[in-house]
Amino acid sequence: MASFDPFPVLTTPRLRLRSIEPGDVERIFRIQSDPEVTRYFGRGPDASIADSERRIATIIAGVREHTSIRWGITLEESGELVGTGGFWRWNKPHRWAEIGYELLPAFWNRGIMTEALRAMLRFGFESMELHRAEAQIDPENRASARVLERLGFAREGLLRQNWYYDGRYTDTAVYGLLRDDLEAAAT
Ligand SMILES: CC(C)(COP(=O)(O)OP(=O)(O)OC[C@H]1O[C@@H](n2cnc3c(N)ncnc32)[C@H](O)[C@@H]1OP(=O)(O)O)[C@@H](O)C(=O)NCCC(=O)NCCS
């Protein structure tokens, strides 16, 4: 299985997916402090730069310990960091991991996340030897559901009211993609 050292940079026609570094904190804070971004996360936005510093430290530790991976999504043309995405909750014995992702709203609806996730999923199935990728989303997050469906994910079930935040319970939709599903969806 490939290690994450050196960090596996991935390229797509419009994007360069690279490691997230401490110097990215202002940009990560801009993304993570935006309530539009965190609307369906079942938690509040980052309130301070220190929150985003901790987030980056967790990402870097996960990569170093080979327990999770998150890429910074940058535009090939300008180098601008516009979002992040990657695998966490990696269950190595059973060969699956969960994906997570988010993008600055100014860049939504241009196919950026679909393009980025396709590259990450290919890496997951080929280099992390995953058999299954899983996504857990708020079923009201239509854009996220659409991205997953376009990539070939199947909606497998609904966890009813398993999340309590801000005085209310929300459901979680579970999506799964098996190794062969991704190639089938790309053709
Ligand atoms: C979810 C998210 C990553 C999508 O990124 P993106 O780059 O805009 O995604 P894409 O452009 O590749 O695809 C978006 C799709 O959703 C569709 N869409 C967008 N808003 C929608 C809405 N309100 N209802 C239905 N479909 C919607 C778009 O039309 C597009 O589908 P299409 O290509 O068939 O037209 C982005 O909206 C985001 O960062 N949201 C906040 C963070 C988040 O919720 N992350 C996921 C947590 S599980």
Domains and CATH numbers, the chain: 10-186 (3.40.630.30)
User: For the segment 47-65, what is each residue's pLDDT rounded down to a tens digit?
Assistant: 999 999 999 999 999 999 9
Do residues 172 and 156 touch, judged by C-beta distance below 8 A? no
Tell me how crowded residue 159 is: count the other CB atoms within 10 A of its CB: 13
Q: Tell me how far apart the alpha carbons of residues 136 and 121 are, in angstroms, rounded to a whole number.
A: 15
- Ligand 1 centre to CA of 112 (Å) is 9
Short-list 51, 49, 112, CA closest to 83: 112
Which tens digits make up the pLDDT trace of 61-106? 999 999 999 999 999 999 999 999 999 999 999 999 999 999 999 9
Task: State CA 90 to chain mean position distance.
Answer: 13
Query: Is 0.85 surpassed by the pTM of this model?
Result: yes
Q: Which of 38, 41, 109 to mutate to test the pocket of ligand 1 (most atoms within 8 A of CB)?
A: 109
